[in-house]
Amino acid sequence: MIKKLHHIVLFLFSTFYLAQVDVVYNDLVWSDEFSTNGAVDNVKWFHQTQLPVAGGWYNNEQQHYTNLITNSFANNGELNIVAKKEVFTDQGFTKNYTSARLNSKFAFKYGRVDVRAKVPKNQGTWPAIWLLGRNVNEPGGYFASTYGNTNWPACGEIDMMEYGIFPSAPENFIQSTLHTPSSSGNSVNHGGMLASSDITDNYHIYSMNWSPNQITFLLDGVAYYTYNPSVKNESTWPFDKEQYLLLNIAMGGVAGNIPSTFTNASMIIDYVRVYQNTTPDTVAPTNFTATVGAVTSDSVELLLNATDNFGAITYQISGGATQTVYGTSGVQKSEIISGLSPSTNYTFTISASDAAGNTAVNNPITLNATTLSNINTACNGTSTLASQGAFSTGYKYGFQTIGTDVKITFELLDTDKTGVVAYLWKQTPFTETPMTNVSGKKFTHTITGQTIGSTINYAVKFAYAGGLSVTKYYSYVVGDACTLGVENFSTSQETVYPNPVETVLNLKLFEKKNTITLYDFSGKKVLQKDMKANSQIDMTSYPSGNYLIKIENSKGTSTHKFIKK
């Protein structure tokens, strides 16, 4: 194993970390590169083997954890944790499987953990990379005899990576979960991501960035879930105390039946690294700038930039809604302020600081922007706006009230995304719910028991091979039918072709009188005219890009998206 190459890879990934997290941790404070063949380094790791309950482990798991070198060993710069089918008797109980569960003898508060690993996908296995509060009173844990005065989940649990216990998830989809007194067991505080390649055949870097403000999970440098409860107390945030690392493979239980053909499975770990900041930061951000970017009918883009010696910038924005966002030193941050009213002037005040609280000398910067007239409705429309990541073509959205239920449908229009799954994000309190695939890249989910007249706010996370993109949050009033702007997700009566178009756009319309309005994708109106049933628009003089065409007639209003080459 060529460790120097891994350091280069880590450096490349660090640019992603800067863009995704609120605090950048630079100093390596603890690690294991597994460079010595043989038994696991007992200065750094403890084998947890004691059965915590009579006869077994939690979750109806079927294994004995051992300290045998056949279940955990270092070889050629890699840690091997091996689950095996073998009859083994320990502590008066005989089981048919053995494995290893390692506790780090190092505990810490705040920092980043990187684990580069290959993860088994065998049916019935439950590989995990996770952390527990050092104060957990779990029998047999390394710290329990000295610090164990707190029950689970009050100690807090951070699951960086789990696989094998989510039967509805696609192959190579990993998940991260937080367990707290406010939500434990089947916790609602979780997020996941589809790996860009097979997780067993290929190494991936599983990361957790933990600050006093939030916990962010990353796969190969891409952030896919952040836990940041608005109220932090003992129930929601037990993460203000030291935690330690655990590496293990469990067998059976919630991981499902173990096939009779199972013989062994291995989680192979190249390295484990923990970073913190050991040098105080006293330098304030410099070169702070803020300008207005793209403006639509319900959103304003703010373009923010500043430099800082520790890498991460915190921007505090007021106007439209007060929010805190994080950016990378020297890299322009695009922040979309959405949920705004059409044709309205907004004033935004932005301040920049770093994680240590040092503030830019030219704080604050004040900006003004006026939103455009509306081209989409609250019920449905097309957009490219993202709250995380980016969309190459865009997506459709739709809200429909059925009794006291609301059916929410989103369709990803990007053709360059594969292996797409979708998750519905509720804004407050934050929850993430899997959506059902209808066809292609169209997904739906129905929320029940809503109050007519209430306002709901939802976005959708599209996760795909190698990344994710999250739509902006859409506000919808339950019961609103948006009769003045209905766009059906099924094929409409009008046909707009070809798409993409190079010269002439053909309109096949079924009404004799139609009002046609053409918008570029910034929301700017570039054409409006009355047209007959079958007409053409000369697109030769229009610049390349994405366009929306709104067709109004006696049947209602529909909106179509097309691309000008």
Q: What is the pLDDT of residues 259-275, one digit of tens each?
A: 999 999 999 999 999 99
- What pLDDT, on a 0 to 100 scale, did the predictor assign at position 521? 55
- Band (pLDDT 50/70/90 cuts) for residue 484 is very low
Amino acid, single-letter form, for residue 446: T
Residue 300 has pLDDT above 90, yes or no: no
Gap between the Cα atoms of 375 and 527, Å rounded: 13
Residue 486 has pLDDT above 60, yes or no: no
Look at 176-185, 288-297, 441-450, 508-517 and tell me which has the smallest mean pLDDT.
508-517
Of 138, 162, 335, 487, the catalytic one is: 162
- Band (pLDDT 50/70/90 cuts) for residue 522 is low
Share of the chain above pLDDT 90, in %: 57
For residues 23-27, average pLDDT: 90
Residue 157 has pLDDT above 90, yes or no: yes
Residue 99 has pLDDT above 80, yes or no: yes
| 86 catalytic per annotation | no
Q: Six-digit token pair at 166?
A: 């989510």
Q: Exposed, middle or buried, 423 (CB in 10 Å: 0-12/13-18/19+)?
A: buried
For residues 57-76, average pLDDT: 97
DSSP-derived pairing of the beta strands 312-318 and 323-328: antiparallel
| 432 catalytic per annotation | no
The yes-or-no answer to whether 286-370 and 380-477 have a common fold is yes
170-219 pLDDT, tens digit per residue, is: 899 999 999 999 999 988 899 888 898 999 999 999 999 999 989 999 99
- Band (pLDDT 50/70/90 cuts) for residue 5 is very low
For the chain, the domains span 3-276, 286-370, 380-477, 495-564
DSSP one-letter code for 64: E
- What pLDDT, on a 0 to 100 scale, did the predictor assign at position 523? 59
- What pLDDT, on a 0 to 100 scale, did the predictor assign at position 491? 39
- What pLDDT, on a 0 to 100 scale, did the predictor assign at position 463? 87
The H or E element that residue 562 is part of is: strand 556-564
The H or E element that residue 274 is part of is: strand 264-276
422-437 pLDDT, tens digit per residue, is: 999 998 888 889 999 9
The superfamily in CATH containing domain 286-370 is Immunoglobulins (2.60.40.10)
Tell which wins on pLDDT, 254 or 12: 254
- Band (pLDDT 50/70/90 cuts) for residue 92 is very high
Q: Six-digit token pair at 419?
A: 């292996």
Q: Domain 495-564: state its class.
A: mainly beta
- What pLDDT, on a 0 to 100 scale, did the predictor assign at position 494? 66
For residues 227-231, average pLDDT: 86
Residue 497 has pLDDT above 90, yes or no: no
Tell which wins on pLDDT, 504 or 49: 49
Query: What is the residue-averaged pLDDT of the chain?
Result: 88
Residue 17 has pLDDT above 60, yes or no: no
Share of the chain above pLDDT 70, in %: 92
Please list, in sequence order, all residues whose beta carbon lies within 8 angstroms of the beta carbon of residue 273, skipping any fewer than 6 positions away. Answer: 10, 28, 30, 31, 113, 114, 115
306-346 pLDDT, tens digit per residue, is: 999 888 899 999 987 778 888 888 989 888 887 777 788 99
For residues 360-387, average pLDDT: 85
- What pLDDT, on a 0 to 100 scale, did the predictor assign at position 448? 95
- Band (pLDDT 50/70/90 cuts) for residue 254 is very high
- Count of CB atoms situated within 10 Å of the CB of 531: 18
For residues 442-451, average pLDDT: 95
Amino acid, single-letter form, for residue 78: E
317-327 pLDDT, tens digit per residue, is: 998 777 888 88
Please list, in sequence order, all residues whose beta carbon lies within 8 angstroms of the beta carbon of residue 232, skipping any fewer than 6 positions away. Answer: none
Q: Which residues pair with 337 in a beta bridge?
A: 300
For residues 150-158, average pLDDT: 98
DSSP-derived 3-state class of residue 541: coil
- Count of CB atoms situated within 10 Å of the CB of 46: 19
Cα 341 from chain centre: 28
For residues 40-64, average pLDDT: 96
Gap between the Cα atoms of 90 and 64, Å rounded: 7
Residue with tokens 């169209």: 442
Distances (CA, A) of 90 to 125, 137, 196, 351, 443: 21, 22, 40, 60, 49
Assigned fold of 3-276: Jelly Rolls (2.60.120)
Residue 43 has pLDDT above 80, yes or no: yes
- What pLDDT, on a 0 to 100 scale, did the predictor assign at position 374? 66
- What pLDDT, on a 0 to 100 scale, did the predictor assign at position 4? 33
- Kindly calculate the radius of gyration of the chain based on its CA atoms and give it in whole angstroms: 27
For residues 147-176, average pLDDT: 95
- Band (pLDDT 50/70/90 cuts) for residue 552 is confident
In CATH, what number does 380-477 get? 2.60.40.10
Residue 2 has pLDDT above 50, yes or no: no
- What pLDDT, on a 0 to 100 scale, did the predictor assign at position 213? 87
Residue 488 has pLDDT above 60, yes or no: no
Look at 230-239, 378-387, 435-444, 551-560 and tell me which has the smallest mean pLDDT.
551-560
Long-range contacts, stretch 442-448, CB < 8 angstroms, 24+ apart:
442/409, 442/410, 442/411, 442/412, 442/489, 443/409, 443/410, 443/411, 444/407, 444/408, 444/409, 444/410, 445/407, 445/408, 446/402, 446/405, 446/406, 446/407, 446/408, 447/405, 447/406, 447/408, 448/404, 448/405
For residues 357-373, average pLDDT: 92
Gap between the Cα atoms of 336 and 464, Å rounded: 22
For residues 468-480, average pLDDT: 87
- Count of CB atoms situated within 10 Å of the CB of 447: 17
Residue 478 has pLDDT above 90, yes or no: no
- What pLDDT, on a 0 to 100 scale, did the predictor assign at position 296? 77
Look at 20-29, 66-75, 102-111 and tell me which has the smallest mean pLDDT.
20-29
State residue 114 phi and psi, 5-degree precision: -120, 130
534-544 pLDDT, tens digit per residue, is: 888 999 888 88
Of 78, 138, 157, 494, the catalytic one is: 157
